[in-house]
Amino acid sequence: MSMLPVGTVLNDRYELDRPLGQGGTGTTYRACDRQSQQTVAIKVLTLSGTTDWKILDLFEREARTLATLQHPGIPRYRDYFQVETPTDCYFCLVRDLVEGQPLDQLVEQSQRFQEQEVVAIATQVLEILVYLQSLYPPVVHRDIKPQNLIRQADGQLQLIDFGSVQAIARETLLGSNTFVGTLGYMPPEQLQGQSTPQSDLYALGATLVFLLTGRSPDQLQRQRLRIDFRPYASLSDRFASWLDQLLAPLPEERFGSAAIALRALQAPEPPPPIRDSAIVSSATSTVLSLRRPAGSNVELIRSPQRLRLRIPPQGLRLSLLGLAGFALFWNVLLVFFTATFAVSAPLFLLFLLPFWYVGIMLMAPLCLALFGQTILEVGRDRFQLHMTALGISKTLRGQTDDINAVEVANSGVRINDVPLYTCVLQVGIHRHQFGFMLTTIEQEWIAAELQQFLQQLV
């Protein structure tokens, strides 16, 4: 695309100073805001290749989303507008100018990052991703790479250039829904046009590999589709294993969220095993539990011989309000149609059966949130998992020795295209799910408590 001349004034307000970088979909300029006399960055995207001017609505929607982001690691998006010239049409996105150096430039200047420095960088980026994934719906960056992480003079990182705007621009220029991202940093699913919060975790892992090895991830060998970084970096086994999980080829094999990845990164080293002769326990004494997340109403009592978990109704949380409104509208409409045609056209009711099934599925998460209760009791010999909601109950019983693992995993259910995570009790070949309506922090806490209890029984 052609670049705009230095000195051009856009929207009668922003005077272009010099280009900061150019990509296939646009150019970013340093500019002066003549109203506030502040220096800003403007990304200018050409619209000359589009024949559908509704694309502007998509740009504006994404710009409004970016304008709502408020995090110290994300520059503030100030303004957006359209500019027309005799030869072209542009969409412009204005954000705060970030002073500093991209991480790729630091590596090119022969700076080598040690494990401790990389852990600090990973922590900062994960904190940004925790914020983005806490939004509803979660915001996926889609283009995390060293060039998009700016290190300021005080060591703080800024994450720039969200891929959502690039996606619209590429569709505009190329006329097709092509993938967005950078080869070497994109997970396999993103090459197929699919992005999830776990995609950003993979891109972060590939970025950390670049910092540790000084090589682009696509230049390194792979074993079973996984980047083999170990021969090029001297790392502790613990951090290397953590990095391996970020780089898992399948999204479900990575950490369930940035919050889980961050907690795993910051977890203290496990204590050395205690010899059996040194264990002193009492059947009536209580074991000190891991710290329950603040604000949680989950009840957990643990002694050396028994663990009891109770998950009471969670109530209608903010994340379910959109679903609640849609489910109410859907089912009220169904009741109206059912009542209307029950007498005049009863055969039409058969046509409504699939819609009633959808209505029931929409109401299921709400019923679980408002009325569902789960009680899990694990003893030295046997366990029992009891779940009930609106008078419907389900009870599972088994041998404690048959419990293979407790984990947090993707349930396979999506609400408003957002994956729903759950606690999973792996018993033999069967996987029993519970705790759908809990936050991932609560689910991870429960999984850790159960794992710790089962380990002490051995």
Residues annotated as catalytic (active site), given as ranges: 143
C-alpha 135/C-alpha 257 separation (Å) is: 13
* Closest to 406 in 3D by CA, of 373, 452, 456, 375: 452
Burial of 215 (0-12, 13-18, 19+ CB in 10 A): middle
DSSP character string of 199-242: HHHHHHHHHHHHHHHSS-GGGS-EETTEE--GGG----HHHHHH
Residues 22/44, Cβ–Cβ less than 8 Å: no
Copy the structure tokens of residue 415.
Answer: 């609400």
DSSP character string of 311-370: E------GGGHHHHHHHHHHHHHHHHHHHHHHHH-TTHHHHHHHHHHHHHHHHHHHHHHH
Collapsing DSSP states into helix, strand and coil, what is residue 248?
coil
Whether the bond between 137 and the residue before it is cis, its omega within 30 degrees of 0, is yes
- Helical packing angle, 237-246 and 197-213, nearest 10°: 140
C-alpha 79/C-alpha 118 separation (Å) is: 34
C-alpha 411/C-alpha 421 separation (Å) is: 5
Cβ atoms within 10 Å of 200's Cβ, excluding its own: 30
C-alpha 176/C-alpha 411 separation (Å) is: 32
The contacts found for 116-124 with CB under 8 angstroms, 24 or more apart, are 117/211, 118/208, 118/211, 118/212, 119/239, 119/265, 121/149, 121/157, 121/208, 121/211, 122/204, 122/208, 122/265, 123/262, 123/265, 123/266, 124/73, 124/156, 124/157
- Bridge partner list, 391: none
